[in-house]
Amino acid sequence: MIEFILASKSPRRCEILKQHGFSFRVAESSAKEKHLEGKLTEKEIIENIKYNSAIKAYNVWCDNKSEVIVSADTTVVKNNVCLNKPHSVNEAFLYLKSLSGTSHEVYTAISIKADNYEKTEIFKTMVYFRELSDSEIFEYIDKFNPLDKAGAYGIQDFVSKQNINNPPYESFVSKIEGSYYNVMGICPFGLEKMLDDYSVSALGTFNL
């Protein structure tokens, strides 16, 4: 499998990729991301997520032009509003309150950047929350301090890959449709396919 540089400091992405046998090292991107606010179209949301992922890959590639760079960007979306990383406990509470008893989308863009090659793809997962009490929300925030997570939660705090089809009673998450790992921050199977496509493209370029 291709070795690459992961343009992300996310411990969750590193954990996922290590578990699935990827070979990589980390180089954090200093690119400035764009965070849109207010109600948006699905197209605007997807294009923004793809931009943030691609700009991080490009930023790291500029200092490592002989390497293959992989980056990702994850956003939680409710009613066409992006719930980015909350700035405060109060904002985290409002995010989780808005997700209570309903469904939302989690989009993750994955980018690959190499010499004469760049590609970004989007992956979507639907997540369903049960009804949450205010005390449950505050207890979760106090215990897990999810201010570094899009949507103010980490799915791994509630369910594991093993019990996702039968979540424990106390779990906020009642069901998901799509990749569990995508909600954590990167879909390893999607990335594997993208790297395979890159390998084919690179081989074709070499043969020319």
CATH of residue 103's domain is 3.90.950.10
- In which residue are the tokens 């569990």 written? 180
Q: What is the CA radius of gyration of the chain?
A: 18
Euclidean distance between CA atoms 117 and 113, whole angstroms: 6
**Residue 152, pLDDT score:** 96
Provide the angle, in degrees to the nearest 10, between the axes of the packed helices 89-99 and 134-144: 130
User: What is residue 204's predicted lDDT score, i.e. its pLDDT?
Assistant: 64
* Domain assignment present for 204: no
- For residue 100, the enclosing domain spans 4-188
Regions of the chain short of the pLDDT cut 50: 206-208
Does 11 map to a domain?
yes
Would residue 195 count as lying in a domain?
no
- Catalytically active residues, by annotation: 73
Whether 44 is covered by a domain: the verdict is yes
Specify the pairing of strand 4-6 against strand 69-78: parallel
Does a structural domain hold residue 39? yes
Task: Kindly state whether residue 138 falls inside one of the protein's structural domains.
Answer: yes
Alpha helices in the chain (DSSP H): 11-19, 42-61, 89-99, 134-144, 180-184, 188-207
Q: Name the residue among 75, 82, 69, 74 with its Cα closest to residue 29.
A: 69
The reply to whether 101 falls in a domain is yes
In a domain, 75, yes or no: yes
Query: Could you give the number of structural domains in the chain?
Result: 1
pLDDT in the model for residue 208: 42
Q: Strand 24-26 to strand 4-6: parallel, antiparallel, or no bridges (unpaired)?
A: parallel
Q: Using one digit for the tens of pLDDT, what is the confidence trace for 99-150?
A: 999 999 999 999 999 999 999 999 999 999 999 999 999 999 999 999 999 9
